[in-house]
Amino acid sequence: MRRAGSEATPVSPAPKPDAAADRDSLALFQPKGAPVALSPAKGARRDGANWIATSDWPWLTLETDVAPLRGLWLELDYAASFLDRLSRPCLRFETDGESIDHLLCGPLFGRARWIGQVPKTARKILISPTMWSGRFGFEIERARVLKFRQVAASSIRADVRQSLVWFGAKSIGLGKASGRALRQALTTAPIEDYDRWRKQNRRAFDPKGLDAPRFDWKQGPEIRFATVWRHEQHAWIDRLLGELAKQPWPRWSLAVVADSHVKFSRALQAGVDEGRVTRLAPDARLPALAEGLEPDDLVGRIGPGDQLCEGARAILGEFARLEPGARVIYCDEDRIATGGKHTGPVLKPDWSPIFQSGGHYLGNAIFARARALSRRRWDMNIRCFVETPADVPVLAQAKPGRVAHVRRVVLSCSGAPSEAPAERRTAAPAGRSGDLLATIVIPNKDRVPLLSACLDSLKQTRIDGRMEIIVVDNGSTSAAAEQYYAQLRDEGRARLVYQPGPFNFSALCNAGAREARAPHLVFLNNDTVAHKTDWLTKLLAWSAQPAVGAVGAKLVYEAGHVQHAGIVLGMDLIAGHVGYKARGADPGYLGRFQTAHELSAVTGACLVVEKAKFDAVGGFDAGNLPVELSDVDLCLRLEERGWVTVLEPEALMIHHESLSRGRSLESHLRYEKECAYFKSKWARRMRDDPWFHPALSLDSSTPALG
């Protein structure tokens, strides 16, 4: 992807409308104290207190007269059931000529807020709360109209820089850009402000309302928690049992690893049936945790001082029923600091085995099916499972579909984060020194200084084999370019392919790929410079793997700031660079700038793929996506065929020209046709990027809370 993402935004207070404005706006939507009226529009029907989605993109209509709202700023507080799969609601304004969609943040703690402007031509407001068929709970708790002076004042208090962008874009008629800047200022909270954000967005678990059971919980799986007895944790176990007894899920138990001489106090058993607490010997092996359980029951660890969120067992039990094939279920988590403050949210991607092998992102909130633990060959002490559950051996042999992710913070851990294991790297592809391994394809037009710097840096590249270079010329006219090309031919450093005509990045890359003789293709921008000699070896190590499609490098500006460390779908309205302009030493959220990991797409400025896989999907889409988003589209088409995209941060490249070109406010207008095509083709993937948590903001390139 050629366009960079947006920048980080600090937290901001919510606007506070005056009483008169609040009364006027509430009258448009709802009776006092009642949620906003919703009615089925498409793919949904009402069923008592809940809804039934009959498609994977159901729509509800906000029952209100839209005419008085046109051009005004609107604030929506919405709530969803904790028992639903967390996803981004899609808010739609229907106008006479088009539908304008906004992707909202998933209500991680039960509720969330959106602020935006109603189009002046809007005639209907709809919302799609979920992306899965079946029962779901959703309501809009409150809708308010914000006066311009309130919005402007709140924006300035929150972020002066983004406010200036807003005013500037608005003054020259760039409404979309101005709205995006203002949403950044008003609705994005940094990770460091997690505790306040958590309190603001958390609602109580409501088993008689939005969180009503979807089936008879007495028929659900038993959930067993395992812990290790320590003398100093006596009071904590008493408290834990009390909390477990209060949770609205009937089938649960606690396994305590303890010596035979340890006597549980009466307080330990107070209010709890004796049969719920099991003692296990300190030398017991992993299968002992599953004794007495049914195959589909769940087992997870809990450590001293850890806390389960309200409704945790119900969330787990309902999810386990939705994912019957999952052998391991993991959840999001956070930490409890001194004074009870919640910090360090670990909002995880969906199952990422490459990331897990190097980054240990799964942490502590892991639950395994009893059948997965009961195999006698698992020669692992129970203490190991309790202390480092991510090392449970069933994970190492997990097949696709056997590991599932609950996108909810189910566990709050005490103490310091667990240590990550030593990183396990993938070996480079086998090859003899004389083998031709890679063809490097570089589009160019006239830019001799850039191209020369790029090719000079490639002289130092070291791989276990040979590489060839193809320069695809797009109609150079300068004498300097022709002279340099002649020099390249004479020295045998590169082959030239001529492809004149209007600039079409996709067609240029495809032309070079057709002439390639090596099994691996390397697409490079002419403004890149290799930073290390082993960059290509590291990328080829991944592209040679049967399950891997496109592989990308970490790109930095000359000053060291990040230009590209992966692409997130839905960011920057379509797709954006995560971590844009982060400092070079920044490890990234969950350490993603330091560890190879799966993601939706990487930039075509440095992209490696096996030629056979590239050819199998037809290469870049030169017809529909000649310039914009063709690299993202290629990655997604490779993924459709079962080949995952990988970023290798240790393959480091310097990317020059984008620093001066920057990010144009007119970029969306310039490429409207490509953007419209991409949106129509990949709408579902844009709404749900599996490698980027739905509670994270799409209005900030630095991971922030929405």
pLDDT single digits (tens) 119-168: 999 999 999 999 999 999 999 999 989 887 767 666 655 554 555 555 55
Query: To 5 degrees, how large is the angle CA 509–CA 515–CA 517?
Result: 115
pLDDT of residue 660: 35
pLDDT of residue 376: 72
Question: Can you list the residues of the chain whose pLDDT is less than 50?
Answer: 2-24, 26, 160, 169, 172, 174, 177, 267, 419-424, 659-668
Q: Is 616 exposed, middle or buried (0-12, 13-18, 19+ CB in 10 A)?
A: middle
What tokens appear for 106 in the block? Answer: 């998933």
pTM: 0.91
Q: What is the per-residue pLDDT across 159-214, written as a single tens digit (0 to 9) for each?
A: 545 555 555 545 545 455 455 666 666 778 899 999 999 999 999 999 999 999 99
Residue 706 near residue 697 (C-beta atoms within 8 A): yes
Residue 582 near residue 565 (C-beta atoms within 8 A): yes
User: What's the Rg (C-alpha) of the chain?
Assistant: 27
Is residue 652 classed as helix, strand or coil in its secondary structure?
A: strand
Residue 77 near residue 142 (C-beta atoms within 8 A): yes
pLDDT of residue 51: 96
In b/e form, how buried is each residue of 407-426, taking b as 16+ CB within 10 angstroms?
A: bbbbbbbeeeebeeeeeeeb
Residues 6+ apart with CB under 8 A from 600: 566, 567, 568, 569, 575, 632, 635, 636, 639, 645, 685, 689, 690, 691, 692
Residue 314 near residue 211 (C-beta atoms within 8 A): yes
Main-chain dihedrals φ then ψ at residue 100, nearest 5 degrees: -105, 115
Of 273, 235, 228, the C-alpha closest to 251 is 273
Residue 403 near residue 328 (C-beta atoms within 8 A): yes
CA 371 – CA 187 distance, rounded (Å) = 44
CA 104 – CA 88 distance, rounded (Å) = 5
Q: What is the DSSP letter of 110?
A: B
The residue type found at 527 is D
Query: To 5 degrees, how large is the angle CA 240–CA 245–CA 249?
Result: 120
Of 277, 221, 270, the C-alpha closest to 249 is 221
pLDDT of residue 273: 76
Residue 604 near residue 506 (C-beta atoms within 8 A): no
pLDDT of residue 164: 53
CA atoms within 13 A on the CB side of 313: 23
The residue type found at 250 is P
Greatest Cα pair distance in the chain: 92
pLDDT of residue 424: 45
Of 296, 369, 304, the C-alpha closest to 330 is 369
Of 329, 50, 53, the C-alpha closest to 215 is 50
Length of the chain: 706
pLDDT of residue 278: 87
CA 224 – CA 690 distance, rounded (Å) = 28
CA 648 – CA 594 distance, rounded (Å) = 8
CA 186 – CA 163 distance, rounded (Å) = 10
Residue 544 near residue 643 (C-beta atoms within 8 A): no
Distances (CA, A) of 569 to 398, 632, 641, 671: 26, 9, 19, 17
Q: How many helices (H) and strands (E) in the chain?
A: 21, 34
- DSSP readout, 368-419? EEHHHH--TT---BHHHHHH-GGG-HHHHTPPTTSEEEEEEEEEEEESSPPP
Is residue 85 classed as helix, strand or coil in its secondary structure?
A: coil
CA 222 – CA 133 distance, rounded (Å) = 26
Q: What domains sit in the chain, N to C, each tagged with a CATH number?
A: 19-188 (2.60.120), 217-414 (3.90.550.10), 436-690 (3.90.550.10)
CA 695 – CA 703 distance, rounded (Å) = 10
Residue 600 near residue 689 (C-beta atoms within 8 A): yes
What tokens appear for 643 in the block? Answer: 């080949």
